[in-house]
Structures are given as C-alpha cells and as structure tokens.
Amino acid sequence: MRVLIIEDEPKVRRALKRLLLDIEPSIESIREAETGLDGLAAVQEETPDLILLDIIMPEMNGNELLERIRALKLETPVIVISGHNDFGFVKHALSNEAVEYLLKPFDREDIETALLKAKDRMDKNRFQRQTERLWEEMKKEKSQLHRVSVLSNLYEGRKLTGDELALLPKFAREDSCGVHTIILKNYDRALQERFHKDKDLLAYAIIKLIAEYEEQQGITLLFGPSGRYDWCYWLITPASVPSATLLKGFQDAFETVLKLACFAISAEGSKTIADYSPTIAMLEDTAFYTDIHSLESGSTGNSNEWRSRAVSTPELQALVTAFVPKACHLIKHGLAFRIRGELDELFEAASSSRCLSAMFLFQAWTMLLTQVGTEFGFRVYGSESLDRVEPFAMKIAFDKTKAMELFEECLNFFMNTASALRGETASGSRALAVKEYIDICYREEMSLADLAERFFISKEYLASRFKRQFGVTVVHYIHSRRLDTARRMLEEEGLSVSAIASAVGYDHFSYFDKLFKREYGSTPSEYRTLSAKAKVD
C-alpha cells in the first residue's frame, strides 16, 4: 500500500507516519507533501492507494484539493484530518466521498478505525473494477456458446457427435480421468454483496478464474457448471495430474481472487467419458453429506468415504430424536441459558463420528420445526424457504459456526414467542423443568449433581425443592422412570434382561436386578415369567 500524507505541520506528519507504519504492515511507502499544490502534484505523478489530507493548508486548502482529486476520476480513499469541528467542512468532505473525518488531536484507535474504512473502500473499488472488466470481456466471448452447449450435453449424459467430441481435450475423450466437484460455500453472500445479484456475471468470473489457473499451471482440464446447483462446478483432470495439489491451488485461487470459500470432493478411482455424468451427479449430492467440521481443517476426503457415512444410522437418528424433545423442553420452560449447551452436545456428538453434515443438520432442523409446530403452534417466519436441504446448506454456508447461530437464533425466537404467548417473563418452576428433563432423558447417565449443574442451581436447593414439590427425591424419581420402562419392556419385548437394563440406563446388571426386585418384589427374570403366565391365563 502506497500512502500520501498532505499536511503542513511537520509534527503531525511524523505522528501520522509513525502510527501508520505501526498499525499497517502492508504499507510499502509513505510520501509527504506540505501544501495543497505539492499534494496535487504528488497525486498526478504517482497515484497513491491512500491519502491523508489536512483541511487548512497554504496555497490550496484541503476541500479544494479533494475536489480536484475527484475531478481526476480517482477512486483513491481519502481520510480528512482537521482541527476544526465545523459541520460545513464535514459535509463537504463526505460529499466528496471521504472515508473518514478525523479531528485533531487523534489517537491510535482513531487511525485504526479510519484505516479499516479505507481498506473496505479499496476492496469495494477493486471488485467494482473487476466487475466492469468482466462485463466487457463477457460481451466479447459470445463465440464460446457452442462449447457451452457441448459441456451441457456432457454433463447431462447425452451422446456427443464427432464434432462435439473434437472440442474436448484429448485426455478427456480417450483416457481414464479424475472427476471432482468444487463447492462454493459462501456463494449466496458473494452473489449479493460483490456481484450485484448477477448470477451470469459470477458464473463467468468463476469459469474465467479456472481457465486462467489452467493456463498458469500449464495443464489442460475440462470443467463446467453444475446444471442443478449454481454453487457447484465440476472438473475433469488427467490421471497424471496430482489432484490434491491441483484442488488445493483452486481453493486458494477462489479465496484470494473472488473471496469465495470452497471445498472439493473427488470420485474414487479413474473414470471414462461414459462415467462423467453419473459421477458428477453423485458428487453433487455428496456435498450435503460432507462433514462440515472436517472442512475447517481442509480435509474433504473422497465421495465413497462421505457417502458411506450418509446413511441415517440408528446412532445418528438417536442424536436427533434425543435433541428435539430437549429443545422443546427448553422452550417450554424458558431455559435460555441451556440453549448453547444442548447445541454443543448435538454438534460435538455428530462431529466425533465425522457426520456433522448439512443433511444431518437439516434433519435436526426439520424435526425441530415440526415438533415445535405441533407442540406450541408457531413457526419461524421465513422458515418455509429452508424446507429443502439445498437452500438450508446455502443458509449455513456448509459452516459449523453459521449452523450453530441459525439454531441458536431459532430457539431463542421460539422461547421468546412462547413466553409472550403465556404472558410470562419468568422461567417458571426450575424443579418442574428438572422433572420433565428426567422424563425425556432418564436413559442417559445423570445424577443430582449433574442436574443441578445443568440447570444452574445448587444441589441442596434442587434436592429440597424437588422432594417438597413431587414427594420423592431426584434420584428415586430417576430410578422409578427407568424401572417402569424396564417393566413394560419385560412385558412386551423379547430383548434379554441385560439388554433391557442397558437400554434404560444401567451399565451393571446386578445393580439393575437389585433395584428392580426392591421396586416390584421380584427379579426381572421372575417378573417376565409371571407376566407371560398371566397373559396365558
């Protein structure tokens, strides 16, 4: 970054120079000018990246100089510095697109804030120039339409004519190749913020970037856009090209040039031209099953690895099934302090199995909204736009933090709405909340201390309040819920007694056997025999 300071006071120039070099390491040079005329000459001689400009100076004041700079059609960010808190000066500076108006004396924090605004303006100016250049280039390349048609036919799996095949690289026609997809995580945000909602322009920028990278690396590739998802591109590579290095280079280029965060998924093994279409379709769907926690470390794996985890296993289903009633319990009792804890448990459990995918989170989201609608009769406004996994994945941008924020925002909304409908602001009876939590989660390992910590109350208070309100101790209530479930399972199911003990939360069979006999007067095995005999009689 090249900086120009236009200020007539040497002491102020020295202070600015010292602060700028200390704050911003990317500064290459700082040039100084003592008057407005000297400053204008410096701007015309070598356009700086940033200008710091005093208002009151000899020969030409700062306001006039700022007008002359804008008349030159320069987009250089300007930070105005003044010892005069005059509204007229401020208004004039802002009307000429100054990024900040600093009053003397200023401090380090003032300069840091002004620099952030200036760098933001630089980014916007750069993307604006890039957008305009892309538009001009796009207009000139209408001749590419036929090649686009060929790529579309290849993607759809249609048989290509001889002329169409001739347009493809030789390796893609004759050899076995690597097949990959590139998933643009923050596509929607980039489209809205940097490409003025113009999908064609963003698509052109992406294709152009891939083509430039191809030329830069001296390799030949075959690539094109997905026909189903705007945020997905497919890539065919020669088997001789190391795909891991190539894909990492693409990811870096997308991030650096277009500010697009992305990840890649590769098909296992090499494919021939007849396999391209079904393989690409499979890779596109695999994106929804990719463990988003792994993406943070740059690990994406191959398609077979992720699809092998895509099956909704009983363990994954159990995570969602356990989470939803817990979430509804929080909503009912206004336990806002527990929201993050419950979400952390859900996310960590899925992450530990490398199954924290957009599909898993979408299933949890759908079940949560369905249950809340049934139990409380309301929904999140606009949630109908997230009724499919594809828009949901874009909403969370395949990102763990954004997914956590979405769930947290949703649960807080439900909690506030439920409280407003009840006309309450208090969280209700904490002891009742504990009781209902036990009803939901009694199969899990829990103790009086665990419950007190979970609900932010002391063990002594919980024990006393629970016994007074429900007539039994917390521990006795946990055991009674477990044993009642075990009793019904012994009557109705063919599981072994040890399996039933484990299912209701007891790791040690002998302990379960002892508690059951104390509660019902017979061992579990004896109870099962008596129950079966009673049915026959």
Same-domain check for residues 458 and 511: yes
> Which neighbouring-strand residues pair with 183?
232, 263
Does residue 209 belong to any structural domain of this protein?
yes
From first to last of its 537 residues, the chain has per-residue pLDDT tens of 899 999 989 999 999 999 999 998 889 899 999 888 999 999 988 889 999 988 888 778 888 888 888 888 888 899 988 887 766 777 777 777 888 888 888 888 999 999 999 988 887 777 667 666 666 665 555 545 556 788 888 999 999 988 888 888 899 888 889 999 999 999 998 998 888 888 888 988 898 898 889 888 888 899 999 999 999 999 999 988 888 889 999 899 999 998 899 999 999 889 999 999 999 999 999 999 988 877 765 545 555 555 545 445 777 888 899 999 999 999 988 888 999 999 999 999 998 888 899 999 999 999 999 999 888 877 665 667 788 999 999 999 999 999 999 999 999 988 888 876 665 444 347 788 899 899 988 999 999 999 988 887 888 888 998 999 899 999 999 999 999 999 999 988 778 899 999 999 998 888 999 999 999 999 999 998 888 887 766
Backbone angles phi, psi at 365, to 5 degrees: -60, -45
Helix (H) or strand (E) run with residue 52 in it: strand 50-54
- Burial degree of 219 (CB within 10 A; 0-12, 13-18, 19+): middle
The whole-angstrom separation of Cα 534 and Cα 537 is 5
The domain tally of the chain equals 4
Q: Which domain holds residue 28?
A: 2-126
Does residue 149 belong to any structural domain of this protein?
no
121 conformational bin, left if phi > 0, alpha if psi -120 to 50, beta if neither: alpha
Helix/strand/coil for 225:
strand
DSSP 290-339: S-HHHHTTT---BHHHHHHTTS--HHHHHHHHHHHHHHHHHHHHT-GGGH
DSSP 395-438: HHTT-HHHHHHHHHHHHHHHHHHHHHHHT--S---HHHHHHHHH
Same-domain check for residues 102 and 6: yes
Does residue 432 belong to any structural domain of this protein?
no
Prediction pTM value: 0.62
- Burial degree of 50 (CB within 10 A; 0-12, 13-18, 19+): buried
Same-domain check for residues 295 and 176: yes
Same-domain check for residues 303 and 346: no
Same-domain check for residues 113 and 248: no
Same-domain check for residues 208 and 342: no
Nearest to 6 by CA among 75, 68, 94: 68
Same-domain check for residues 303 and 327: no
Same-domain check for residues 303 and 348: no
DSSP 104-173: SS--HHHHHHHHHHHHHHHHHHHHHHHHHHHHHHHHHTGGGHHHHHHHHHHHHTPPPPHHHHHTS-HHHH
Query: What tens digit of pLDDT does each residue of 6-45 get?
Result: 998 999 999 999 999 999 888 989 999 988 899 999 998 8
Cβ atoms of residues 74 and 43 within 8 Å: yes
Does residue 147 belong to any structural domain of this protein?
no
Same-domain check for residues 346 and 301: no
CATH value at residue 282: 3.30.70.270
Query: What tens digit of pLDDT does each residue of 381-433 get?
Result: 566 778 899 999 999 999 999 999 999 999 998 888 887 666 544 434 778 88
Does residue 441 belong to any structural domain of this protein?
no
Nearest to 45 by CA among 98, 99, 2: 2
CATH value at residue 531: 1.10.10.60
Same-domain check for residues 199 and 257: yes
Tell me how far the alpha carbon of residue 272 is from its chain's centroid: 35
Same-domain check for residues 170 and 298: yes
Domain edge (last residue) among 420, 437, 457: 420
Does residue 144 belong to any structural domain of this protein?
no
The CA-atom distances, in angstroms, between 317 and each of 270, 360, 406 are 34, 9, 21
Does residue 56 belong to any structural domain of this protein?
yes
Same-domain check for residues 414 and 467: no
CATH value at residue 63: 3.40.50.2300
Q: 207-213, long-range: CB within 8 Å, 24+ apart, which pairs?
A: 207/233, 208/134, 208/137, 209/253, 209/254, 209/257, 209/258, 210/235, 210/250, 213/249, 213/250, 213/253
